[in-house]
A and B are shown apart, each in its own frame.
Chain A
Amino acid sequence: MKYRVNFFVNEEPVELYVDANKTMLRVLREELALTGTKEGCGAGECGACTVIVDGKPINACLVLAPELDGMHITTVEGLAKDGQLTNVQQAFVDLAALQCGFCTPGFIMSATALLQENPSPSRDEIVDAISGNLCRCTGYARIIEAIELAARKGGGQT
């Protein structure tokens, strides 16, 4: 059985018929080809699939496809506009706060959600916001610095 869902991704309306036993992550990646959102564990433990739903970061791997109905979702593909990176993206580039890059979209989404809610977070608030995102390459120091830099430059918007 398929379930009709109407939702918005990156401000574009989407109508799909989905299986109940698929996750939001698979719908985004396989049906909408939004592959910037990654699967690192499928169990809500690594944060590689972080997307922003109605202003809040969540793990796309823990949402069932029929739940999509009515949601407003932002994925990493929805951030840069008119070829312009957001402050968060630019800060990650400037400080080389990435290596293999697989976890990077998830961190960018967590950081973006944080700065939208709290434009000048403390270091502890940053750590709390990204402690659900695992990175094996960077050692995190630069990621924290990049979020601080993005905050100084104006936060979660472009």
Chain B
Amino acid sequence: MKAFEYFAPASLEEAFDLLDRFGPEGKLFNGGTDVVIQLRDHLIAPKAVIDIKRIPGLKTLTYDPQGGLTIGACMTMNEIGNDPQVIAHYPTLAKAALSVGSKQVRNRATCIGNIVNASPLADTSTPLLAHNAVVIARSREGERSIPLEEFFVFVRKTSLKPGEIVTAIQVPPAPGSRGEFTKISRRREVDLSTICATILKAEDGWRVAYGSVAPTPIRLKKTEALLNEGPLTDAVIEEAVELARSEVSPIDDVRATKAYRLEVVGVVLARSLRALM
């Protein structure tokens, strides 16, 4: 690791000051499970590392039936995945959170970090996309709510502006919804997703979200529209599988081929739909 200055601001104001001072040379730091590796591998060499874990108010998780779920920036994957409210109302999110890394990593890694990284295969992204989650970003100018779909721009690129800090993610209430989260990986435990998906049957219709099949995690809107046209039958499932495969654009990489991903996109959809029928 190259040398850098470390700051642990005690308030958002202090953090904004530091972001102003260091600009792109300041790296926000939360659970550290990605950033420490990037530092170690010399992928980044910031002048300052700004640890937001000591800012009050970011380590909260609240739920109410009207407002839904609010996850503070510093909540770890284990805290989210084991939270009774999350398990009760957003089981796909709980399952996705607990599918990330190892138990040790989940005690440090945060959901917000997972989202801000904007990896195409972020495990918690698909349940959050399916639930129409909104990213809350704060800056000196105030607060901005960004629908998650608009937050992801490209591989590791978000619509976050310089000087903004993501403080929370809000997930609308989803009464009566049922969903399936699936992670396909080479090894069942402690592995990156080859693909991941959340298929949600909400009160207003089907929602289909996939990770690792495009430059960002995505919703398959055409597939959703097809599913929402009428009752779910074997014929509809078959049609949806083909449509879903046409809506994604996976690539070959060291983890799997494009052909494999395309095939499994359909398998996961069909299995999830049958489970939710």
Contacts A45-B190, A129-B103, A132-B190 hold; do A62 and B4 have CB atoms under 8 A apart? no
Contacts A20-B49, A42-B40 hold; do A62 and B107 have CB atoms under 8 A apart? no
Question: What chain A residues lie within 8 Å of B53 (beta carbons)?
Answer: 67
| Contact with A63, one of B5, B40, B103, B108 (Cβ below 8 angstroms) | B108
- Indicate if the CB atoms of A63 and B104 lie closer than 8 Å: no
Contacts A20-B3, A20-B49, A47-B102 hold; do A62 and B189 have CB atoms under 8 A apart? no
Stretch of B31-39, B84-92, B120-128 on the interface side: B31-39
**0/1 per residue, A48-69, Cβ < 8 Å to B?**
0010010011110111101101
**0/1 per residue, B2-22, Cβ < 8 Å to A?**
111110100000000000000
- Indicate if the CB atoms of B104 and A43 lie closer than 8 Å: no
A127 CA / B103 CA spacing, docked (Å): 10
Question: What chain B residues lie within 8 Å of A62 (beta carbons)?
Answer: 32-33, 36-37, 105, 108
| Contact with B189, one of A43, A56, A59, A131 (Cβ below 8 angstroms) | A131
Question: What chain A residues lie within 8 Å of B102 (beta carbons)?
Answer: 44, 47, 59, 131-133
A50 CA / B1 CA spacing, docked (Å): 21
Contacts A21-B4, A132-B190 hold; do A50 and B104 have CB atoms under 8 A apart? yes
- Indicate if the CB atoms of A64 and B36 lie closer than 8 Å: yes
Q: Which residue of B lies closest to A22 (CB)?
A: B1
Q: Could you tell me how many residues of chain A have their Cβ less than 8 Å away from some Cβ of chain B?
A: 32
- How distant is A73 from chain B, measured CB to nearest CB, in Å? 13
- Indicate if the CB atoms of B33 and A44 lie closer than 8 Å: yes
- Indicate if the CB atoms of A64 and B107 lie closer than 8 Å: no
A53 CA / B32 CA spacing, docked (Å): 15
- Indicate if the CB atoms of B108 and A59 lie closer than 8 Å: yes
B101 at the interface (CB under 8 A from A): yes
Q: Which residue of A lies closest to B45 (CB)?
A: A21
Sample 25 A-B pairs with CB under 8 A, ordered by A number: A3-B6, A20-B6, A23-B36, A42-B40, A44-B101, A44-B102, A47-B102, A58-B104, A58-B107, A59-B33, A59-B105, A59-B108, A61-B36, A62-B108, A63-B32, A63-B36, A64-B49, A66-B6, A67-B32, A67-B51, A69-B8, A131-B102, A132-B103, A132-B104, A132-B190
- B residues adjacent to A (C-beta < 8 A): 1-6, 8, 29, 32-33, 36-37, 39-40, 49, 51, 53, 78, 101-105, 107-108, 189-190
